């Protein structure tokens, strides 16, 4: 596990995103882990500074499609405030959040995700494309030619609760606890400003 402050920060960021859609025990237990404690291929899929859409399509050798599970739009603190505030983005901002799955063309679920976006950092056309829910976020941002920096990547181990077990079609019966999944939290700056917060969990392969 990472040092305590880093671990607490990673778990706090992930928990804040999960809370957008209820969170709690139904989602599962989350803990921060070191990169070397994550088995392959999950480590290679998560421990980088690129968009997960790109990583997943390269690994699976096919385009992935987006399935939106739930959305939430509200006013809230500026990007980065989930971890205790960001002086660069004070006050209330328009947020768009969604819980999603990425699937291969043969209906295999390969990734779960929760994303939260500060819409004031997105131009109206790009925001409309995101809200339409037809293409993965990474592909939209790349196509828009926006200057992007993926930062503050921290790896996680997630023991799935009933919500994730159902959503990801995982076995839920039996006396043994469910096998852990691996994921990450990350932030994306657009044109040098914090704009996107991500929780991304990969399916076992």
CATH number for the domain that contains residue 14: 3.40.1410.10
Q: What is the pLDDT along the chain (205 residues), one digit of tens a residue?
A: 445 788 889 999 999 999 999 878 899 999 999 999 999 999 999 999 888 888 899 999 999 999 999 999 887 665 545 443 343 344 567 889 999 999 999 999 999 999 999 988 989 999 999 999 999 998 898 888 887 889 999 999 999 999 999 999 987 655 567 789 999 999 999 988 999 999 999 998 7
Which whole-number Å values give the CA distances from 147 to 25, 46, 77, 141, 168, in the listed order?
Answer: 37, 21, 23, 9, 32
Q: What count of Cα atoms within 13 Å lies in the side-chain half-sphere of residue 30?
A: 28
Domain that holds residue 110: 4-83+92-202
Q: What is the C-alpha to C-alpha distance for residues 71 and 116, in angstroms, rounded to an integer?
A: 10
Longest dimension (CA), the chain: 50
Count the domains in the chain. Answer: 1
Cis peptide before 61 (omega within 30 of 0): no
Q: What is the C-alpha to C-alpha distance for residues 198 and 205, in angstroms, rounded to an integer?
A: 22
């Amino acid at each position: 596990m990472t040092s305590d402050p880093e671990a607490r920060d990673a778990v706090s960021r992930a928990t804040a995103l999960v809370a957008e859609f209820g969170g709690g025990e139904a989602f599962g237990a989350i803990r921060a882990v070191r990169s070397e404690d994550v088995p392959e291929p999950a480590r290679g899929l998560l421990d980088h500074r690129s968009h997960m859409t790109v990583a997943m399509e390269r690994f699976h050798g096919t385009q992935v499609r987006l399935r939106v599970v739930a959305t939430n739009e509200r006013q809230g603190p500026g990007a980065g405030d989930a971890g205790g505030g960001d002086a660069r983005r004070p006050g209330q901002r328009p947020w768009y959040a969604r819980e999603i799955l990425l699937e291969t063309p043969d209906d295999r679920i390969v990734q779960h995700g929760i994303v939260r976006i500060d819409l004031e950092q997105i131009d109206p056309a790009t925001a409309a494309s995101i809200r339409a829910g037809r293409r993965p976020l990474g592909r939209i941002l790349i196509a828009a030619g926006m200057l992007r920096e993926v930062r503050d990547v921290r790896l996680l181990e997630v023991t799935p609760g009933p919500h994730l077990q159902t959503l990801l079609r995982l076995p839920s019966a039996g006396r043994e606890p469910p096998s852990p999944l691996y994921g990450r939290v990350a932030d994306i700056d657009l044109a040098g400003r914090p704009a996107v917060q991500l929780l991304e969990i990969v399916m076992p392969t």
